[in-house]
C-alpha cells in the first residue's frame, strides 16, 4: 500500500513538473513570437511609426543634360552601393532635379528598408513578399530613371543649388535624424540664365554669395558624397568648379564630411 501511494505521488510530481516545463516552453514561444512581431510601419514608406527615423540617405540626380551610357552605368552602381549601406528601417530617397521647379525635385523613390525575412515571424508578416516588393519597386524606379536620363538634350538651366536648398528644407531630412547622407550625382555646372552661372569665366564663390541673399543651405551633420558626371566638352570648366567654387560652397553649408568620387 505504501509503495503504491509513493508511486502515485511520484507520478503526480513528475506530471506537475512536466506541466510546468510545458508552460515555460509555451511562455517562451509566446514571448519569442511577440519579440518577432513587426513594429508598426507606414504603409507607403514602410518606415516605423513608433520611433523617429534613425537614418536617411537622399540621392539627388542631375539629369538636366543627357546621361551617356557610361554615366548611366555609374548611376546604377552608385544606387546599388547606397542601397547596400542601408540597415533595416533606414530610408532611401531618390530625387531628380526639376528644371522647371528646382525647389521641388521630383521624387522617384522613397522607402525604408524592411526587416530581412530571417528576422521576422511568418505568423505576423510576409517578409519575403515585402522585401521582394521593395526590390522590385527599387529596380523599376532605377530603370525608369536611367531611361529618362538618356533621352533629350541639354536643358536651358541646371539649378543645382536651388535643388540642394530643397533637400536641406525637406522635413523628412531634418536635423533631428541622427544619420543623414546626401549623394549628389551631377556635372556640377550650376547654370541659371537669370542669375549665377559657372559657365562665366570669372565665376567663383564670392560672386555667387554676393548675389545670393538666401546664402548656402544648412547641411550641418550631413555626410556628403559627390559623384561627378564628366562632360568632355566642358572639362576645363568642371575642373575649375571643383577646384574653386564647390569646396567653398560645401564648406559654407557646414557639411559634416565630403567625399568626391574620381571622374569616370
- The tens place of each residue's pLDDT in the chain, 264 residues long, gives 555 555 556 556 655 565 655 555 444 444 444 445 678 989 889 899 999 999 999 999 998 888 898 999 999 999 999 999 999 999 999 999 988 888 999 999 999 988 765 555 554 455 567 677 777 877 887 777 777 665 555 557 889 999 999 999 999 999 999 999 999 999 999 998 888 999 988 889 999 999 888 899 999 999 999 999 999 999 999 999 999 999 999 999 999 999 999 876
Q: How far is CA 115 from the centre of its chain?
A: 16
Residue with cell 548656402: 216
CATH code of the region 55-260: 3.40.50
**Overall pTM > 0.85:** no
pLDDT of 149:
61
Check residue 220 and report its DSSP letter. Answer: B
Paired strand residues for 185? 61, 227
- Sort 260 into a burial class: Cβ within 10 Å, 0-12 / 13-18 / 19+: middle
- Grid cell for residue 120: 521576422
Dihedral (CA of 94, 163, 185, 57) sign: negative
| DSSP per-residue letters across 130-190 | HHHHHHHHHHHHHHHHHHHHTSS---S-B-HHHHHHHHHH-GGG-TTSSEEEEEEEE----
| Beta-carbon contacts of residue 11 (< 8 Å; ≥ 6 apart) | none
Burial 203-242 (b: 16+ CB within 10 A, else e): bebeebeeeeeeebbebeebbbbbbbbebeebeebbeebe
Give the domain ranges of the chain.
1-35, 55-260
Amino acid at each position: 500500500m505504501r509503495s503504491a501511494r509513493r508511486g502515485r505521488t511520484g507520478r503526480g510530481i513528475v506530471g506537475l513538473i512536466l506541466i510546468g516545463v510545458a508552460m515555460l516552453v509555451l511562455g517562451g514561444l509566446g514571448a519569442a513570437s511577440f519579440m518577432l512581431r513587426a513594429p508598426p510601419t507606414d504603409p507607403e514608406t514602410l518606415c516605423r511609426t513608433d520611433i523617429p527615423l534613425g537614418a536617411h540617405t537622399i540621392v539627388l540626380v542631375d539629369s538636366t543634360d543627357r546621361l551617356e551610357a557610361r554615366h548611366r552605368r555609374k548611376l546604377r552602381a552608385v544606387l546599388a552601393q547606397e542601397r547596400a549601406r542601408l540597415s533595416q528601417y533606414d530610408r532611401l530617397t531618390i530625387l531628380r532635379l526639376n528644371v522647371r521647379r528646382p525647389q521641388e525635385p521630383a521624387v522617384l523613390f522613397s522607402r525604408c528598408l524592411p526587416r530581412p525575412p530571417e528576422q521576422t515571424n511568418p505568423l505576423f508578416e510576409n517578409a519575403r513578399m515585402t522585401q521582394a516588393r521593395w526590390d522590385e519597386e527599387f529596380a523599376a524606379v532605377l530603370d525608369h530613371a536611367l531611361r529618362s536620363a538618356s533621352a533629350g538634350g541639354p536643358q536651358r538651366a541646371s539649378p543645382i543649388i536651388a535643388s540642394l536648398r530643397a533637400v536641406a528644407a525637406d522635413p523628412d531630412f531634418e536635423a533631428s535624424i541622427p544619420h543623414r547622407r546626401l549623394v549628389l550625382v551631377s556635372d556640377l555646372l550650376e547654370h541659371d540664365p537669370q542669375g549665377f552661372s559657372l559657365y562665366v569665366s570669372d565665376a567663383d564663390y564670392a560672386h555667387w554669395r554676393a548675389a545670393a541673399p538666401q546664402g548656402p543651405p544648412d547641411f550641418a551633420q550631413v555626410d556628403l558624397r559627390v559623384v561627378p558626371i564628366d562632360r568632355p566638352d566642358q572639362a576645363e570648366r568642371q575642373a575649375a568648379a571643383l577646384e574653386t567654387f564647390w569646396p567653398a560652397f560645401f564648406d559654407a553649408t557646414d557639411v559634416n564630411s565630403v567625399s568626391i568620387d574620381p571622374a569616370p
